[in-house]
Amino acid sequence: MTRIRLSFKEMCERFDVTPRTLRYYESIELLFPEKVGRSRYYGPTELVRMKLILRGRKFGFSLEEIRQWLLIYDQEGTDLQKQVWIENARRQIGVLEGQKAELEASIAELRNIYDTVISTGEWPEEV
């Protein structure tokens, strides 16, 4: 069985992140690579953590929320981690739905102004 072990550069390439981002994630204790001299190596646990970090960021969670969630797994295990994730996900779905509604309203307003300018050649008074 081959053990996964990525270098710093390979980790950046695999997850399409900058070296600065990877170093930052380490500095705020999201990742804990194996250090050999000045080199860093990332094993299976770090790869999974990185996937979770990036997925969490995609869904709009703060790095501190992600850090706390990962810490729960390290200290308490999966049951509490799952419960906290469900609560956080429920809250974040509400936040994202609110943002979606705001975006849809902005798009509708912009479309109305656009249509008015295209059809009349005039700026509407509300612009």
Q: Structurally, what CATH architecture does the domain formed by 1-76 represent? A: Orthogonal Bundle (1.10)
Helix (H) or strand (E) holding 96: helix 78-120
| Domain spans in the chain, listed from the N-terminal domain onward | 1-76, 77-127
Tens of each residue's pLDDT in the chain, 127 residues: 457 899 999 999 999 999 999 999 999 999 999 999 999 999 999 999 999 999 999 999 999 999 998 988 778 778 888 898 999 999 999 999 999 999 999 999 999 999 999 999 888 876 6
Q: Judge whether 9 and 17 are in contact, CB under 8 Å.
A: no
Q: Could you give the CA distance from residue 20 to residue 112 in angstroms, rounded to a whole number?
A: 43
